Amino acid sequence: MSKSILDTILKAERGSRLSLENVPIAELPNFVYHTEAPSNLTRLGVPTVFNSLSDMGKDWRYVNIPFMPTARQRAAVSLALSHCDLLAVYIGGLDAAAHRVGRDGQKLVDPLRRIDRFVQSVFKEAEEVLGKGFGWVVFSDHGIETVSNYVDPMKLRQALWTRDIQPKSVFFDSTMMRVWGLEPTLSSRQLNSVERLGHFISPGEASRFGVDFRTPEFGQQIFLLNPGVVFHPSYVSWLRPKGMHGYSPDVDSQFGVLVSKLGCEIRSDHSHPMSDIKRLVIESVVADA
């Protein structure tokens, strides 16, 4: 797509002009490729529950439903039920709807009901195949926050860095800016100028949030936007989202939901990190062995 067409699209969306740059061939060796198949669930940057299941010799299946279930996806779930030790089904319909409308309960009723009917049908079929004693976990891995402010990534760069202070590389997601090679340290004046937008995650926060990676591939520093603030334009979407997640897990709007038949000492009187769900699944599989 030509730059002129992209500029026209962005103007129509009241977005900022986008600068298109090609990566020089000489720079390609500087990029790190973790895997030839990045969508492979056992070859991600960090160990997952699927790695643990494979190590245990368990046969698992994963069905990805990006939006609302289609007939083919329903058939895939039905087929997998009787051919594995654990079936994981991802349904992205609610996430997609929440990005479009934000935390608008009335507008989310219809997608919630459609997903509920699908989950009921899966449970009914699972009872027919596995019996009523099968174990199950239903959870959402995040909540949603209504977007109140759109920030041009280039304007944040201009506010933080000068000709003498430039990072080696940056990567913008919807709510995070990952930075590599930022020396020297930014001044308090520069940091204060962007505090209404977000802040750089401290080592303590990184440890508490579970993002204290031991290698630099995922960013040496992370600038996290405040709830309701979103980077736009973004590689994720040309459209301006009305709802977003990926903020601090301390924010109530980011909480998900966990409902399970499996106990495993999961308490309901406080929140749990996602790692607890991994432990819950692993312990339940071991108990059924």
- Give residue-wise pLDDT tens across range 189-209: 777 888 999 999 999 999 888
The confidence score (pLDDT) of residue 13 equals 45
End-to-end CA distance of the chain, in Å? Answer: 54
Model confidence at 230: pLDDT above 80: yes
The overall pTM is greater than 0.75: yes
Q: Of the ranges 37-41, 83-87, 224-228, 274-278, which is most confident?
A: 224-228
Average pLDDT over residues 123-134: 89
269 against 111, higher pLDDT: 111
> Is residue 6 very low, low, confident or very high in pLDDT (cuts 50, 70, 90)?
very low
The pLDDT tens digits for 235-268 are 777 789 999 999 999 999 999 888 888 765 666 6
The pLDDT tens digits for 130-156 are 888 888 888 888 999 999 999 999 888
Percent of the chain with pLDDT over 90: 37
The confidence score (pLDDT) of residue 176 equals 94
Neighbours of 213 (CB within 10 A): 14
| Mean pLDDT, all residues of the chain | 81
Model confidence at 231: pLDDT above 70: yes
CB 159 within 8 A of CB 177: no
- In degrees, to the nearest 5, what angle opens at C-alpha 239 toward C-alphas 70 and 23? 100
CB 175 within 8 A of CB 229: yes
Report the C-alpha gap between 289 and 282 in whole angstroms.
11
The confidence score (pLDDT) of residue 169 equals 84
Model confidence at 19: pLDDT above 80: no
CB 93 within 8 A of CB 67: yes
Report the C-alpha gap between 21 and 266 in whole angstroms.
49
- The secondary structure of the chain, three-state, reads CCHHHHHHHHHHCCCCCCCCCCCCHHHHHHCCCCCCCCCCCCCCCCCCHHHHHHHCCCCEEEEEECCCCCHHHHHHHHHHHCCCCEEEEEECHHHHHHHHHCCCHHHHHHHHHHHHHHHHHHHHHHHHHHCCCCCCEEECCCCCEECCEEECHHHHHHHHCCCCCCCCEEEECCCEEEEECCCCCCCHHHHHCCCCCEEECCHHHHHHHCCCCCCHHHCCEEEEECCCEEECCCCCCCCCCCEECCCCCCCHHHCCCEEECCCCCCCCCCCCCHHHHHHHHHHHHHHHC
Average pLDDT over residues 215-234: 91
- Least confident interval from 38-42, 49-53, 249-253: 38-42
> Is residue 15 very low, low, confident or very high in pLDDT (cuts 50, 70, 90)?
very low
CB 235 within 8 A of CB 177: no
The confidence score (pLDDT) of residue 125 equals 92
- Backbone conformation region of residue 255, classed left if phi is above 0, alpha if psi is from -120 to 50, else beta: beta
- Least confident interval from 124-138, 177-191, 206-220: 177-191
How far does CA 191 lie from the centroid of its chain? 26
The residues facing 179 across adjacent strands are 170, 221
Model confidence at 275: pLDDT above 50: yes
Residue with tokens 């505090």: 195
Domains of the chain: 49-141+256-288 (no CATH), 147-244 (3.30.1360.180)
